[in-house]
Amino acid sequence: MLALRSRVFVVEQASPYPDIDGRDPGALHLIARNEAGAIVGCARCLGPDEDGRDGTNPDAPVSFGRLAVDPSQRSTGLGRALVAESLTVLAERWPGRDVVIGAQQHLERFYGSFGFVRDTDPYDDFGIPHIDMRLRR
């Protein structure tokens, strides 16, 4: 999973950002494998107690991110399936909570198709324009 994320985010997108941020051990990870068993997609789901949020606050949002799809699997619907499954997992574990994400700006329409709306102006995240988006529950 870490190798895929590194290939996609650091190498392919030429963004030397700190992927290893200490949140992976407490996260729920979705992994997609091909027929040979190789990891070709992943996403990381974070509960309301991650990122310094107050998990005891019933209004604290949840999140997913680090969604990566191997180039060989793009345009197959895998990315859409990972988002849908991430939303399902978050709704089952933490029902009724908003979902917030930091999205690459060029994917605003993609995430918008799931009901996400822009929450911030664009900002630079290690050389890649991002926006925060929110899905209200």
pLDDT in tens, 88-134: 999 999 999 999 999 999 999 999 999 999 999 999 999 999 999 99
Assigned superfamily of 2-135: Gcn5-related N-acetyltransferase (GNAT) (3.40.630.30)
Query: Which contiguous run of DSSP H or E holds residue 109?
Result: helix 108-112
Q: Which residue has the higher pLDDT, 65 or 57?
A: 65
Work out whether the CA dihedral 81, 83, 84, 85 comes out positive or negative: positive
Q: Which two tokens stand for residue 27?
A: 């996260």
Confidence of residue 18 (pLDDT cuts 50, 70, 90): confident
Degrees (nearest 5) of the Cα angle 65, 98, 57?
105
Average pLDDT, the chain: 93
Confidence of residue 58 (pLDDT cuts 50, 70, 90): confident
pTM score, whole prediction:
0.91
